[in-house]
């Protein structure tokens, strides 16, 4: 959705800001839920085509297969305050 913010009233901007804040909170909670799964399991069973499992260490940032979770890793950094949206 492409919004021309300059044409919105202050009230419309505040409503939009509140909606975006709710979305961000929901996304943040979702990322935290996935992180809870990661912290309480060893990886993804049958991840590889040959049936081998993939450990979380191999899938998260710095791991051999980190490219599979690039967006998750970026979102996690934002939630932890390790980076800014503009980075």
Rounded-to-integer distance, Cα 34 and Cα 22, Å: 19
Rounded-to-integer distance, Cα 47 and Cα 62, Å: 18
In angstroms, what CA-CA distances link 26 with 1, 12, 20, 45?
19, 21, 10, 27
Full pLDDT tens readout for the chain, 87 residues: 688 888 999 999 999 999 999 999 999 999 999 999 999 999 999 998 898 999 999 999 999 999 999 999 999 888 888 766 655
Q: Which pLDDT score is estimated for 78?
A: 87
In angstroms, what CA-CA distances link 30 with 8, 47, 49, 53?
30, 22, 27, 24
Q: Which pLDDT score is estimated for 80?
A: 83
């Amino acid at each position: 959705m492409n919004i021309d913010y300059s044409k919105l009233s202050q009230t419309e901007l505040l409503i939009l800001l509140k909606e975006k804040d709710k979305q961000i909170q929901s996304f943040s909670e979702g990322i935290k839920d996935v992180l809870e799964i990661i912290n309480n399991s060893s990886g993804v069973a049958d991840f590889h085509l040959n049936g081998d499992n993939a450990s979380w260490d191999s899938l998260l940032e710095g791991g051999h297969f980190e490219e599979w979770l690039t967006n998750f890793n970026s979102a996690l950094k934002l939630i932890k305050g390790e980076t800014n949206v503009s980075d």
